[in-house]
A and B are shown apart, each in its own frame.
Chain A
Amino acid sequence: MTALWQLTLLETKMFFRDKLQVFWTFLFPVLMIWLFGSMFENQAPEGFSFASLYIPSWIGVNIVTTAFFTLGTVLTGYRETGVLRRYQSTPLAPWKILFAHTIQGTVIFCFSAVVLVVFGTLMFDLHAPVYLGSTLVALLLSILAFFPFALFLTSLAKNVGTAAAISSLFLNLMLFLSGATFPLEMMPDVLQYIAKILPLYYVIELLRATWNTSPLWENWTPVLVLSCIALVSIVLSSVFFKWSGKAD
């Protein structure tokens, strides 16, 4: 078996051994949907159901959670405890490490998305995406934008504590300001503008649109924004990849 495949498999297995991670990734979103659903189920705008707006949103939020916590914070921990430094003295190339973690993150994210969709279908009559192909491409684009973005940001942290703090800050900021949990229309104008600076806003715009109303090519603004983020953060995260927190 190749090292790349072996590493991906092991990292995925190890994720499921961490019960806390499993809770936050799989159960927490379900609990939130259930909570918000019981409050706002009947307040959805004309033509939409609660589930068709908020399940795609939470799938978007899960991309952020996976990016920052499953990938970013974990890799910062590996950097801090010398796991990556050990790899550095072996023939394992850095791109293989990043690639293995990206695949692992994608697999875990897909699991969590399936959990949400099944839950939404059973509890809130969620309908399938109207533009399925567009939705899948939108998900892929969001992953490409967020995974390297989170990897780069958390690599600026010297230790797990700081990485977790950065991650929590971004997650909470985006959770409440991107329209994922509360309708943006309820918020003051200033906050609505701030929301548009946050990358998650565009993920949610795109996912909600492709799920309900329009295909990818009619939503060029979020597509463009996410593509730019993807491009810039892939470059940044690979150029500034560090094996250890220490100077050389």
Chain B
Amino acid sequence: MTTDNVIEISGLRKSFGAHEVLKGIDLVVPKGKTVVLLGASGSGKSTLLRCVNFLETPTAGTVAFNGRPVGTPKGAAGERSYSDRELRVLRARIGIVFQQFNLFPHMTALENIMEGQRAVLGRSREEAAARAEDLLARVGLAGRGGAYPSHLSGGQQQRVAICRALAMDPDVMLFDEATSALDPELVGEVLRTMRSLREDGMTMLIVTHELGFAYHIADEVVFLSEGRIYEQGPPEQVMLHPKGERTRQFMLGHSEFRLPHLD
């Protein structure tokens, strides 16, 4: 089976104890497209993102990667079981960038970017280092490979984290509020890096609170509310002319979002 959708999510549910965070999500991320998830905190957008590479295990529903459903069915209620091995193979092909960077503090920037290439892709030291240097140069950090994360600014750390994910040559990149932990003056450098990825044709699924950025980068905006997709469509439609009352309230609540803001 072939498909142009890198990710297809159907009927996805996720509960933490008695609390159901995701209440049946259907969503596709087409190849080369950028999908942005918006919503108030607690709407389930980060959980949804984390279900895509199974950092959270869905309670029910399926996630298909490049047309192939992940896991095997188990029980009648739409549960599935996932083997460690299958998830490792899957995760190697899905890049994720975290709010808190999560760089390995005992390794230099270069070693951070080399680790996955060496451990998972089996690349040689030279090959991995060369790839890491290339990526660092691409995000404007040429020559900083020898620095430990604690000697880098937040924005620099996040760009190293993006390189670490890109080094695996992923089919899709997930961004989980990648700029939320950054000082305001450092947000721009990370957003620029993300935008350059889009220009290179990377498939991306992004959770962000930067609405101006979301407007410019998104092919599709998905607005979540209380664990369901409340409204979705092109950014002009969802963000400028929202149909739903909750979407309208959300946009009104973010008064810093003004258009046009093209640069």
A and B pair up: no
**Which A positions have Cβ atoms within 8 angstroms of B?**
none
**Which B positions have Cβ atoms within 8 angstroms of A?**
none
